[in-house]
Structure 1
Amino acid sequence: MNSDGSSLGNPCRAGVGGIIRNSHGEWESGYARAIGHTSSVAAELWALRDGINLCIALNLTNVIFELDTKLVVNLVQKGNDGPSGNDVIIADCIEGLQKILRINIQHFFREANKCADAFARRGALLPQDLVIFHSPLRM
């Protein structure tokens, strides 16, 4: 599962998105969401939470989460070490991850996250809240 947040400024209008592929790299599902005005870190956390919830809805039991923001990887792996304004969404992510049997959360470089980034940018421009894609988009 690759996720990404996109803030058109910091803070500014933001969206999130992501893609879930199977172990062969084939499309499973995608998502995009408009989240209003927020910071880039909050957008990244929203993207992860939506991805976690979609994995749970799809009954996935073994998931590798790839994020291009090291700060978010650390927040979720180590827990929140103090008030940050993102406490609730961090707790939501940690709680959701506990519902998936086997997980691996890892950082990888932004250049390898272009598909999730495209969904996040689309999300920032959506007139509605959350959209789940059941087949690949032509962008």
Structure 2
Amino acid sequence: MYFNMKATKILKQDLAILKRLDILISTPKAKRVSLVKWLPPCSNWVKLNIDGSSLGNPGPAGAGGVIRDASGHMCAAFSVSLGQDSNNYAELKSLLEDYWDELQVCLDRLEYSMSHVFREGNAVADYFAKEGSRGSSMEWFEDRSLPNQLRGLLRMDRAGIPYLRISS
């Protein structure tokens, strides 16, 4: 007869006894913790962070984004409600929604780069995307009109305060 147990900490002598009794021990994989933070663009550049959200997957979906300058100050932000759909659809629409044609015109005249950012380094855009999932389709052009929690996230990013990313 074989038994299987999960254990986080076990003494060598106990391990020997369990082995003689044919009881297998499996230890959970250690979680990795890393620091992730929002990085500002170079001087004279702006950065567009976007995100998509689906509450339920599929469920109420939204997209959001924020444009910030090199000092981390918000230039503009948006949230868009996308109806009922998946998180993958919302992620893609966050790039394409309403701004793609305008973005293409600008990109033809500008130098730019694109890269992936972990959710923890994209907290502000994530917040706007969730607002879209909750039915909000809005644009903001000054941070004084933003909720306190969101203004706090912007301040944390400007200060370079990292977020914890926990993965297996």
TM-score class normalised by the smaller sequence: 0.5 to 0.7
TM-score (norm 2): 0.52
DSSP-derived class of the 2:64 partner: strand
Give 1:48 deviation, angstroms: 1.4
Partner of 1:33: 80
Cα distance in structure 2, aligned partners of 1:102 and 1:14: 31
RMSD of aligned residue pairs (Cα, Å): 2.2
Task: Show CA shifts across 1:57-116 (max 9, x none).
Answer: xxxxxxxxxxxxxxxxxxxxxxxxxxxxxxxxxxxxxxx446412221101211111111
Instruction: Tell me, yes or no, if structure 1 residue 111 matches structure 2 residue 120.
Output: yes
Q: What amino acid is the match of 1:21?
A: R
CA distance in 1: counterparts of 2:79 and 2:91, whole angstroms = 12
* 1:22 Cα offset (Å): 1.1
Alignment of 1:78-97 (within 5 A): 96-97=103-104
1:135–1:50 distance in 2 versus 1, CA, 3 Å: farther
2:111 aligned with 1:102: yes
Question: How far apart are residue 17 of structure 1 and its match?
Answer: 0.7
SS in 2 for 1:9: coil
Task: Name which structure has the greater RCO, CA cutoff 8 Å, separation 6+.
Answer: 1
Question: Which of the residues 142, 148, 152 maps onto 1:135?
Answer: 142
**Higher mean Cα deviation, 97-106 or 24-33?**
97-106
> Are the counterparts in 2 of residues 97 and 103 from structure 1 also a CA contact under 8 Å?
no
Aligned to 1:83: none
- 1:24 positional shift: 2.1
**How do 1:48-63 and structure 2 match up within 5 A?**
48-50=95-97, 53=99, 56=102
Q: Which residue of 1 aligns with 2:62?
A: 15
Query: What is the total number of aligned residue pairs between the two structures?
Result: 97
Following TM superposition, by how much is the alpha carbon of 1:55 offset from its aligned partner in structure 2, in angstroms? Answer: 9.8
TM-score (norm 1): 0.62
Q: Is the 8 A contact 1:13 1:124 kept in 2?
A: yes
Q: Structure 2: where are the runs of 5+ without partners?
A: 1-47, 150-168
What SS class does the counterpart of residue 90 from structure 2 fall into?
helix
Identity of aligned residues (%): 35
Instruction: For residues 42-67 of structure 1, give each alpha carbon's deviation from its aligned partner in whole angstroms, at most 9, with x where no partner exists.
Output: 1011111248x2894xxxxxxxxxxx
**2:57 partner letter:** N
Rg: which structure is higher? 2
